[in-house]
Amino acid sequence: MLDLLFTGCTLPDGRTGMSVAVQNGHIVEVAPGFTAPAHETIDAAGQLLSTPFVDAHFHMDSTLSYGLPRVNQSGTLLEGIALWGELKPTLVQDAIIERALAYCDWAVARGILAIRTHVDVCDPRLLAVEALLHVRERVRDYLDLQLVAFPQDGFLRAPGAQDNLVRALDMGVDVVGGIPHFERTMADGADAVRALCTLAAERGLRVDMHCDESDDPLSRHIETLASESHRLGLHGRVAASHATSMHSMDNYYVSKLLPLLAESGLAVIANPLINITLQGRHDTYPKRRGMTRVPELMAAGVPVAFGQDCVMDPWYALGSGDMLEVAHMGLHVAQMTSRDGMAACFDAVTRVPAQVLGLSHVGLVPGCRADFVLLQARDAVEALRLRATRLGVWRAGRRLASTPAQSTALHLPGRPGSVSFQHG
Ligand SMILES: [Zn+2]
């Protein structure tokens, strides 16, 4: 007797009429039309069953703090960093934990079951680190939280940041972070990349740096990050987050850079909602879009994931943990409107970030953990178009969240009925 059986599913790769069988928290069968006795059978009725959403880039120590102590008036990255600097000394651990747990509830409800969050290590009290280590433990039965030691004010530039970052790793933070474009000089930025990659290699950790989050085409720290990854044998374990300066780089230079990134096994994480909002702020017109070169990176074989980055914090007033909203913005900014392009944008918030985070249990094949989101959509493109309702969310075969199907009753004269915006 199976624990759980889904029938009539569409899968993200386009296969229809598929059954997915679950036993002891794991997938045991994925086959068309398969049936067997089960404690619970769910007829997906042609809707999309996917692996859950994975958010590869988030800031959980600042989330849901919008308006504290004031609102970012200019809307720029630098005012956001300054505002976060005003807020930091006033932070209280319980409040960070409360806000983070509230956000985790939102995330699970939206079908996100893994988040990589950066945590600022420049406050010598390491309050946020302690708070998020506590949260990681609190949510571990339903959400995989990966913490990045993030020196927001500069690894070399901020007093004490080097010691604080090492202390955070000693306390159990998972990933080495960085922000080379925020160091005092280009040379300092490159030195920071080298030191941080060496630290990660010594400790056997992954690396994820805020890298070239700038409109300056000469901000080229991603080149150093790639060459250090290659030199230290960190292939497949290093990610460059944002990498926005690449949108403004010289095309000839990028033609040399892309193969280097592929050779180094680097991943790139774009944050479309935030990049389109924060970049290009010094431009009049034409105004640059500010997102890295997503389709070109993908074509070069570089894994590209989309992250949420911010929800209601000093940098961004909006957001709700909706990775379909993130992918929807990504496909618009990158103009990835072909069927394959849209499918790749869906992958960039599901399959690819799972790979970037090293979550080997994620997949829709026998042996993988039974983690799913069932969407009110007939395929990945419809899911993006509708930012589809998450009908159900499961982890290891256990249901974590349910949302009723969206349907609006119409009271039109001579044309009563209902509408769900699904087509065909
Ligand atoms: Zn970030």
Q: What is the pLDDT of residues 273-291, one digit of tens each?
A: 999 999 999 999 999 999 9
Domain tally, the chain: 2
Res 77 pLDDT > 90 = no
CA of 309 to the centre of ligand 1 (A): 5
With respect to residue 414, please indicate whether it lies within any of the assigned structural domains: no
Q: Mean pLDDT over all residues of the chain?
A: 97
Tell me, yes or no, if 213 is annotated catalytic: yes
Domain boundary among 316, 333, 356: 356
Contacts of residue 10, defined as CB under 8 A and 6 or more positions apart, other chains included, come to 16, 18, 44, 46, 47, 48, 49, 378, 379
Cα distance between residue 85 and residue 293, in whole Å: 31
Of 79, 130, 137, 213, which residue is the catalytic one?
Answer: 213
Q: Which residues surround ligand 1, an ion (CB under 5 A)?
A: 309
Cα distance between residue 309 and residue 143, in whole Å: 17
* Together in a domain, 352 and 399: no
Full domain range(s) for residue 23:
2-51+363-408
Q: Which amino acid is residue 107, in one-letter code?
A: A
Q: Quick one: pLDDT at residue 423?
A: 84
CA of 381 to the centre of ligand 1 (A): 27
With respect to residue 332, please indicate whether it lies within any of the assigned structural domains: yes
CA of 348 to the centre of ligand 1 (A): 17
* Together in a domain, 291 and 260: yes
Q: Quick one: pLDDT at residue 44?
A: 98
CA of 98 to the centre of ligand 1 (A): 21
Q: Quick one: pLDDT at residue 372?
A: 98
CATH number at residue 404: 2.30.40.10
Cα distance between residue 239 and residue 243, in whole Å: 10
Res 424 pLDDT > 80 = no
382: nearest Cα among 341, 421, 349, 353: 421
> Tokens 């944002």 — which residue?
242
259 three-state secondary structure: helix
Write out pLDDT tens, residues 199-218: 999 999 999 999 999 999 99
* Together in a domain, 74 and 37: no
With respect to residue 423, please indicate whether it lies within any of the assigned structural domains: no
CATH number at residue 65: 3.20.20.140
* Together in a domain, 114 and 156: yes
CA of 271 to the centre of ligand 1 (A): 8
* Together in a domain, 279 and 376: no
CA of 39 to the centre of ligand 1 (A): 43
331: nearest Cα among 273, 409, 250: 273
Res 53 pLDDT > 90 = yes
Contacts of residue 7, defined as CB under 8 A and 6 or more positions apart, other chains included, come to 19, 34, 35, 41, 42, 43, 44
At 69, the pLDDT band (50, 70, 90 cuts) reads confident
Lowest mean pLDDT among 72-76, 109-113, 298-302, 322-326: 72-76
Lowest mean pLDDT among 73-77, 185-189, 392-396: 73-77
The strand ranges marked E within 307-419 are 372-375, 390-395, 398-402, 408-412, 415-419
CA of 406 to the centre of ligand 1 (A): 32
Secondary structure letter of residue 180 according to DSSP: G
CA of 138 to the centre of ligand 1 (A): 23
